[in-house]
């Protein structure tokens, strides 16, 4: 480009950070605005499988693939599928040297990306209040602090409830009807060896019709459990979510008939239960182009959790940054990026919805029902 553009990335998740890193590798300045107060102000969540055809492509563009592979857990690709009696239906073990989709904790991945950026790139405690497109094609970011700054390109990488998206689209995420209730176990190998053995090195999924129990190993002998079912947003009506024992009793009643070894995933967990309703944007989600604005990751194409969201975000971020480097102007870069990203998002969102429907159907059947494409 003939002049250096002023670029802002709103959101310090994997997609936004990969975008910033690739830009910096090509000498393009960028500022990342993150609403979190510090890098350690909250837990980053569970583990991610980073795929060689999406997320790893983004990390390669960022010059971080080798560091990622050194941190990741290829053994985390192990998958055990069971019925409600804990009978093992399928068991997938990764071959030696398999790096197709190794696991890494979200916190580890974020630290890797943050450490790769020029110091001061991320401005913490900067929550965006409003995004205002200006007549000259630039964009003003207004922050909750009252401050404001203007940019040639604002990238919305701010997740499911994106503030940036509001300047492009009226679309809002809709509840899918599927609820995930999370529990966790610390120091599981020493304290709960039977659970550790049941889960293995990767993920265990036990299913009966529309009821699922998913347990996934994280780093440092930590296991996260996801109790997944269809129900209303107020599934716990009459039960205080802060009353852990009441929630536990309710969930155990819902899963009556599951093997005792599986119910232990709800009996012995550390701490409280947390519910995570599954939301998704409409498919397709498109918008009329506004100069100086675009979206990536969940802000652009929030879809049901099928292992692809973070991967797509990192691929989006890398491709957008490369378009900025390659194209003669910001408008050209955004057009080239969205021409590829939007159709890909439709394909992936459609597939993710089909996976969710197959794995957590709207039925109370006791049939396991794992689709052929899973495991």
Q: Over the stretch 256-300, which tens digit does the pLDDT of each residue have?
A: 999 999 999 999 899 999 999 999 999 999 999 999 999 999 999
Quick check: is 268 in a domain?
yes
**What backbone torsions phi and psi does residue 35 show, to the nearest 5 degrees?**
-75, -25
Q: What's the pLDDT band for 374 if we cut at 50, 70, 90?
A: low
Q: Are both 112 and 227 inside the same structural domain?
A: no
Nearest to 275 by CA among 249, 240, 309: 240
Instruction: Find where tokens 């009556």 sit.
Output: 256
Distances (CA, A) of 262 to 25, 149, 185, 252, 265: 48, 53, 14, 10, 6
Q: Are both 137 and 62 inside the same structural domain?
A: yes
Q: Are both 136 and 185 inside the same structural domain?
A: no
Within 8 A by CB and 6+ apart from 216, the residues are 46, 47, 199, 202, 203, 204, 223, 224, 225, 226
Q: Are both 345 and 214 inside the same structural domain?
A: no
With a cut of 70, say whether residue 2 has pLDDT above it: no
> How far apart are the C-alpha atoms of 223 and 215, rounded to whole Å?
7
Domain with residue 211: its CATH number is 3.30.9.30
Three-state SS at 332: helix
Q: What does the pLDDT look like over 308-327, one tens digit per residue?
A: 999 999 999 999 999 999 99
Helix or strand (DSSP H, E) at 107 = helix 106-116
Q: Are both 47 and 193 inside the same structural domain?
A: no
Structural domain of residue 273, as residue ranges? Answer: 176-279
Quick check: is 126 in a domain?
yes
Q: Are both 22 and 135 inside the same structural domain?
A: yes
Q: Are both 158 and 274 inside the same structural domain?
A: no
Three-state SS at 27: coil
Quick check: is 69 in a domain?
yes
Domain with residue 17: its CATH number is 3.50.50.60
> How far apart are the C-alpha atoms of 176 and 279, rounded to whole Å?
5
pTM for this prediction: 0.95
Quick one: DSSP state of residue 319? H
pLDDT at 363: 66
**Number of folded domains that form the chain:** 2
Quick check: is 87 in a domain?
no
Q: Are both 169 and 181 inside the same structural domain?
A: no
Q: Are both 132 and 224 inside the same structural domain?
A: no
Q: Are both 118 and 59 inside the same structural domain?
A: yes
Q: What's the pLDDT band for 43 if we cut at 50, 70, 90?
A: confident
pLDDT at 364: 58
With a cut of 70, say whether residue 220 has pLDDT above it: yes
Q: Are both 166 and 25 inside the same structural domain?
A: yes
pLDDT at 279: 97
Label residue 245 exposed, middle or buried (CB < 10 Å: 0-12, 13-18, 19+): exposed
pLDDT at 45: 79
> How far apart are the C-alpha atoms of 368 and 271, rounded to whole Å?
29
Q: Are both 12 and 153 inside the same structural domain?
A: yes
> How far apart are the C-alpha atoms of 146 and 364, rounded to whole Å?
51
């Amino acid at each position: 480009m003939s002049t250096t553009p002023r670029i802002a990335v709103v959101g310090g998740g994997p997609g936004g950070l990969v975008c910033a890193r690739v830009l910096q590798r090509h000498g393009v300045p960028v500022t990342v605005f993150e609403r979190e107060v510090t890098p350690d102000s909250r837990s980053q969540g569970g583990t991610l499988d980073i795929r060689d055809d999406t997320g790893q492509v983004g990390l390669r563009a960022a010059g971080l693939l080798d560091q990622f592979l050194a941190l990741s857990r290829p053994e985390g690709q192990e998958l055990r599928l069971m019925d409600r009696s804990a009978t093992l239906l399928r068991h997938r073990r990764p071959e030696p040297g398999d790096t197709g989709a190794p696991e890494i904790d979200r916190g580890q991945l974020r630290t890797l990306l943050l450490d790769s950026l020029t110091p001061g790139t991320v401005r913490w405690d900067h929550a965006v209040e409003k995004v205002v497109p200006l007549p000259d094609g630039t964009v003003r970011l207004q922050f909750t602090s009252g401050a404001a700054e203007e940019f040639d390109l604002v990238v919305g990488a701010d997740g499911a409830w994106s503030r940036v998206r509001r300047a492009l689209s009226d679309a809002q995420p809709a509840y899918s009807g599927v609820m995930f209730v999370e529990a966790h176990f610390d120091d599981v190998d020493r304290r709960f060896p039977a659970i550790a053995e049941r889960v293995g090195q990767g993920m265990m999924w036990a299913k009966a019709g529309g009821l699922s129990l998913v347990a996934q190993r994280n780093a440092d002998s930590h296991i996260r459990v996801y109790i997944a079912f269809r129900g209303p947003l107020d599934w716990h009506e009459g039960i205080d979510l802060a009353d852990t024992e009441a929630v536990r009793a309710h969930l155990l009643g819902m899963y009556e008939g599951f093997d005792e070894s599986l119910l232990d995933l709800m009996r012995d967990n550390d701490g409280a239960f947390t519910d995570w309703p599954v939301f998704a944007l409409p498919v397709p989600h498109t918008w009329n182009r506004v100069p100086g604005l675009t979206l990536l990751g969940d802000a652009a194409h929030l879809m049901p959790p099928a292992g692809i969201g973070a991967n797509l975000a990192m691929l989006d971020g890398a491709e957008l940054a490369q378009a900025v480097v390659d194209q003669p102007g910001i408008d050209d870069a955004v057009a080239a990026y969205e021409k590829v990203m939007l159709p890909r998002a439709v394909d992936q969102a459609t597939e993710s919805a089909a996976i969710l429907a197959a794995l957590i159907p709207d039925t109370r059947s006791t049939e396991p029902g794992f689709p052929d494409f899973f495991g």
